[in-house]
């Protein structure tokens, strides 16, 4: 690949590349309800249900570093990031396939450790491993998982669907995973400089766990069912809150205004950000790999969320012409900028 081609891919990013490669593809089968452009493809099934299908690939040196990523945690995380896409459609994951690209010099015992993590995740999320593929790799370990889920047709939450004045809500807290990564990278640098120095990881357990072994929010989908609630739009937070807001806005043909003082950031994240010389709001907006659920809700559902400790109302939808805005505690508004995960 020439340097010019590489720079072009870098300039348009992952989603620009997807648009370039797939923009001319059209759905030809009646059973294909939703194709590229959401967290899952939607395929019609029998009765009032649809099948949901998604795939994600984790590449060594791009998505994980084996110097601090235990293989069992990697296996669990690989499943989590995939089933999270199904939850982002308000669905239930049921099956996965696992494909590996691996060096022939990789010990069998190491691969067993990887699969122990996959098995633990399958048990936690109640999904079945039903197949896959294994081949050699000359550029590190590659883990590719496809997930199949199910949802009622009238309960599926797409990225498009938010309307003006809808509430914008996020589950859990954000920014923790990114800070866990920064701690691991800091200690890796110290170890590389002096292997005799032990890494200082005490006190960062929760942040590190959020990075190494994130938990997809299956509990949120159960909460929705108990509330008799369906989001008007939804996405999971993998590339950073700001990026995901822009995806919802684009698909819904609207804009969002969010408040910096409403972002759910834990005290530990704030203290760790300060320790590392980082802005906690930037970490929350652009860190990524939180795997929380970001969704919009009709104003009539305000009472369901206003005092619910599991969720934070962070903003609202506005007319598309307003643009996506970040409003600070002084009511000053600036254009929301996304600087999240870059795959190229």
**How many Å apart are CA 131 and CA 15, to the nearest integer?**
28
Q: How far is CA 237 from the centre of its chain?
A: 4
**DSSP tally for the chain: helices H, then strands E:** 10, 13
Of 57, 18, 54, 21, the residue nearest 137 (C-alpha): 57
Residue 13's pLDDT band, with cuts at 50, 70 and 90, is low
Q: Which domains does the chain have, with CATH numbers?
A: 3-155 (3.30.1330.10), 167-335 (3.90.650.10)
- Res 4 pLDDT > 90: no
Tell me what pLDDT residue 47 has.
Answer: 84
Percentage of residues of the chain with pLDDT beyond 70: 94
CA distance 215 to 209: 9
pLDDT at 318: 98
Q: Compute the distance between CA of residue 117 and CA of residue 112 in angstroms, rounded to an integer.
A: 9
Q: What is the pLDDT of residues 176-190, one digit of tens each?
A: 999 999 999 999 998
Residue pair 90/42 in contact by the 8 Å Cβ criterion: no
How buried is residue 206: exposed, middle or buried, by Cβ count under 10 Å (0-12/13-18/19+)?
Answer: middle
Strand order of the β-sheet with 142-152 is: 32-34, 41-44, 49-59, 142-152, 92-102, 128-136
Note whether 41 and 55 are within 8 A (CB). no
| Tokens (6 digits) for 198 | 């032990």
**pLDDT at position 2, please?**
46
Closest CA to 54 of 95, 17, 82, 88: 82
Instruction: Round to whole Å and give the CA distance between 208 and 141.
Output: 21
In tens, the pLDDT along 288-330 reads 999 999 999 999 999 999 999 999 999 999 999 999 999 999 9
- The CA dihedral of 224, 78, 133, 89, to the nearest 10 degrees, is 20
Handedness of CA 119, 121, 125, 129 (dihedral sign): negative
- Reported as a single tens digit per residue, the pLDDT across 72-121 is 999 999 999 999 999 999 999 999 999 999 998 899 999 999 999 999 99
Tell me the two tokens of residue 305: 């969320």
pLDDT digits (tens, 9 = 90+) for 227-269: 999 999 999 999 999 999 999 999 999 999 999 999 999 999 9
Which residue in the block uniquely carries the two structure tokens 């791009």?
Answer: 62
- Residues 6+ positions from 275 with CB-CB distance below 8 Å: none
């Amino acid at each position: 690949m020439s340097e010019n081609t590489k720079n072009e891919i870098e300039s348009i990013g992952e989603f620009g590349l997807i648009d370039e490669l797939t923009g001319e593809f059209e759905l030809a089968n009646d059973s294909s309800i939703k194709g590229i452009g959401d967290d899952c493809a939607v395929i019609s099934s029998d009765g009032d249900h649809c099948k949901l299908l998604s795939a994600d690939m984790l590449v060594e040196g791009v998505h994980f570093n084996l110097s601090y990523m235990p293989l069992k945690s990697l296996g669990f995380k690989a499943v989590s990031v995939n089933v999270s896409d199904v939850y982002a459609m308000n669905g239930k994951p049921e099956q996965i396939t696992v494909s590996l690209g691996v060096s022939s010099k990789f010990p069998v015992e190491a691969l067993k450790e990887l699969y122990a993590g996959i098995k633990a995740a399958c048990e936690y999320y109640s999904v079945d491993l039903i197949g896959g593929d294994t081949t050699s790799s000359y550029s590190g370990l590659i883990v590719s998982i496809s997930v199949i889920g199910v949802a009622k047709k009238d309960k599926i939450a797409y990225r498009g669907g938010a309307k003006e004045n809808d509430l914008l809500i996020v589950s859990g807290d954000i920014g923790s995973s990114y800070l866990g990564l920064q701690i691991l990278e800091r200690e890796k640098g110290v170890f590389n400089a002096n292997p005799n120095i032990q890494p200082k990881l005490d006190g960062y357990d929760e942040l590190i766990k959020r990075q190494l072994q994130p938990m997809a929010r299956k509990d949120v989908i159960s909460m929705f069912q108990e509330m008799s609630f369906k989001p008007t739009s939804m996405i999971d937070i993998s590339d950073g809150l700001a990026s995901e807001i822009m995806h919802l806005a684009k698909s819904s043909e609207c804009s969002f205004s969010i408040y910096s003082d409403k972002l759910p950031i834990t005290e530990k994240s704030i203290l760790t950000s300060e320790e590392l010389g980082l802005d906690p709001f930037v970490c929350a907006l652009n860190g990524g790999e939180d795997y929380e659920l970001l969704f919009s809700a009709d104003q009539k559902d305000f009472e369901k969320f206003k005092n619910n400790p599991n969720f934070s109302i962070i903003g609202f939808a506005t007319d598309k012409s307003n643009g996506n805005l970040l409003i600070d505690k002084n009511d000053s508004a600036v254009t929301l900028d996304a600087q999240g995960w870059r795959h190229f």
